Structure 1
Amino acid sequence: MSVNFRDIGRELSNWGRWGPDDQLGTLNFVTGEHIRAAATEVRSGRVFQLSIPVGSSGPQSGIGGRLNPVHLMSMAPHDWSDPHGVQISDDWIIMPLQSGTQWDGLAHVAYDDRMYNGYSTDEVGARFGARKLAVDAMTDRLVGRGVLLDIARLKNVPWLEGGTAITPDDLDAAERAQGVTVAEGDFLLIRTGWRAKLLADGPAGWMKTEPGLDLACARWLHDRSVAALGSDNWAIEVLPSAQSGTVVPLHCVLIRDMGMPLAEILDLEALSAACAEDGRWSFLLAAPPLHISNAVGSPTTPIAIR
């Protein structure tokens, strides 16, 4: 018998925990002390890019109106006729905000007409965007100690197969194997190897299924007071879902009930290799969204510094 995600959501709810007007959710766990401590994770100064390229080669197939970004030149060097020889180029990008490496903000998922902290879904509209819980509330809050748990490496496979559920026991086992502990205020990144599959096999079918976290992991994340969660797949959780009643039950609990932002479609391949080489699985993470007013999600170009 499947567990009702609403029951778990009520149990793990953070509504009112940081006051009736809170719009940051679990990012409240990240304090100045946490950030100062995260800076001590930098030892070699190596920087790792964690985003996929923004362009037409992305994984989107048009489902739900999400297309790959379109890059256009609006001005090229030879468009100019300047007596001093000056030449200027300009360009545009046209894209869904959640088509590549991106943050799900706290207005992204709701159920029963309520969003995180009890805000009404009437606060999000086609004409004005998100009047509450918009992603721009987080622009200066997505920095701190990152921890990578490499589940694909734990299972000794290049990637987990689609539909493979990652359990709390898997998270515990990865901690033990890697000698790292996820602590309060950490940004937890999960490697499933799904990015490696995209690079190896291409985008065909990549977004029809995925390995990811089981709904039971919500309690594990709540108990650890994780600040935010990211993964190299496209929806964090295992799909298709084993839970009845919704296609994304973990999204519902994490975003709507707990107030946890989610980072999706990360590239964790180079970072995981470096972490495995020297046995250090924590780092300084900086992953701000674009400062877009009233948006429910945003592209991001995260970097990990070790």
Structure 2
Amino acid sequence: MTEYAFKKTGKELSNWGRWGDEDEKGTLNFVTPDTVKQAVGAIRTGRRYELSIPVGSTGPQTGWMKRINPVHTMTVTPHDFTAPEGVVISDDFITMPLQSGTQLDGLTHVGYDGAFYNGVPVDAVTPARGAVRNSIDATLPGFTGRGVLLDLAGLDGGEWLPAGRALTVADLERAEEATGTRLTTGDALLVRTGWMRKGLTQGWDGWLEDEPGLAPECAGWIHERELAMVAADNWGVEVLPAGDGLVPLHAVLIRDMGMMLGEMWNLEELAAACRADGTWDFFLTATALRVTGGTGSPVSPVAIR
């Protein structure tokens, strides 16, 4: 049988039982009233930056994992309903995969060897009910605290990193040193590879085939720093193809460490602001929708500098 290195790493970095056998929040337990209060100090100008891509038909989905781009449908328009006093009403709905755009991976999104985070059996996800344990709504109220942006694409001097570029611990520490700050307990790491910029400027054709991203070795560094969350501007956080199974970093971070991941975040405007004044930390909020049984969720993260 094939020996997968990520399984050994996952066993070494496991947070199972760390916050109790019934825990469903994982590394969000690192977010405390104290870390939230301290993070307020990262607000210097009060300017806000919304970090999502548009929810609609122009997104990057091409059918992988049965995902489609969101379908927005009007059910009532002003010409369909008018009250006697002249009041008009519009109403609409949206059909979409929960992970088709800027989104959060929940703790039943990836597992292996019959289990999800904290020993929850894979049978806890069913066609009828979704996730009955480790559902995305169990992560609420989500992440609130200090975020730190590491602009790896900018540090390498290009608009985006090439596909397959594996970001190592040395890369993270080089980028961290350039920011003049240190990621610590309860923080969220935001990684800019420039891959989102590539999609937004050149189109989505081939965008989901591979990507630059974090190497599997980064799991140990993330664990040591006690980070609450990692998010990136690519579609899968980690470098792909990964070379050690399908998604080895997902497997360790989500299944073994209990970490919610953010994907397809638009970090362009935020990075430009950080670059302009040399300040790379900020107050960040990222809260999932309260989707009962969901394994992921759309999100509209907001950074306040």
**TM-score scaled by structure 2?**
0.98
In structure 1, what is the equivalent of residue 250 of structure 2?
251
Query: What's the CA shift for 1:267?
Result: 0.2
Distance in 2 (CA, whole Å) between partners of 1:234 and 1:154 is 20
TM-aligned CA distance change 1:88 to 1:302, over 3 Å: same
Letter aligned with residue 287 of structure 1:
A
In structure 1, what is the equivalent of residue 84 of structure 2?
83
CA contact (8 A) 2:105 2:262 kept: yes
Distance in 2 (CA, whole Å) between partners of 1:81 and 1:167 is 60
In structure 1, what is the equivalent of residue 172 of structure 2?
171
In structure 2, what is the equivalent of residue 197 of structure 1?
198
1:259-297 deviation digits (Å, cap 9, x = unpaired): 010000000000001001111110000110111111110
Distance in 2 (CA, whole Å) between partners of 1:66 and 1:99 is 6
Distance in 1 (CA, whole Å) between partners of 2:186 and 2:103 is 20
Distance in 2 (CA, whole Å) between partners of 1:88 and 1:67 is 29
Distance in 1 (CA, whole Å) between partners of 2:127 and 2:171 is 40
SS across alignment from 1:274: helix
Identity percentage of aligned residues:
52
Query: What's the CA shift for 1:169?
Result: 0.2
Letter aligned with residue 114 of structure 1:
A
Query: What's the CA shift for 1:242?
Result: 2.2
In structure 2, what is the equivalent of residue 6 of structure 1?
7
Letter aligned with residue 92 of structure 2:
D
Structure 2 residue runs of 5 or longer lacking an equivalent are: none
Worse-matched range after superposition: 75-84 or 155-164: 75-84
What pairs up with 1:210-225 in 2 under 5 angstroms? Answer: 210-225=211-226
Distance in 2 (CA, whole Å) between partners of 1:3 and 1:152 is 29
Letter aligned with residue 182 of structure 1:
L
1:219-272 deviation digits (Å, cap 9, x = unpaired): 0100100100000000000011122xx210000000000001000000000000
CA contact (8 A) 1:30 1:141 kept: no
Letter aligned with residue 109 of structure 2:
H
In structure 1, what is the equivalent of residue 96 of structure 2?
95
Query: What's the CA shift for 1:3?
Result: 6.1
**TM-score scaled by structure 1?**
0.98
What pairs up with 1:1-306 in 2 under 5 angstroms? Answer: 4-243=5-244, 246-306=245-305
Distance in 2 (CA, whole Å) between partners of 1:248 and 1:209 is 12
Runs of 4+ in 1 over 6 A off after TM superposition: none
1:45-104 deviation digits (Å, cap 9, x = unpaired): 100010001000000001111000000000000012422111100011100000000000
- The root-mean-square deviation of aligned C-alpha atoms, in Å, is 1.2
Distance in 2 (CA, whole Å) between partners of 1:185 and 1:82 is 51
Distance in 2 (CA, whole Å) between partners of 1:104 and 1:157 is 28
Distance in 2 (CA, whole Å) between partners of 1:65 and 1:5 is 26
CA contact (8 A) 1:166 1:238 kept: yes
Distance in 2 (CA, whole Å) between partners of 1:201 and 1:36 is 40
Distance in 2 (CA, whole Å) between partners of 1:241 and 1:80 is 53
Structure 1 residue runs of 5 or longer lacking an equivalent are: none
Distance in 2 (CA, whole Å) between partners of 1:10 and 1:294 is 27
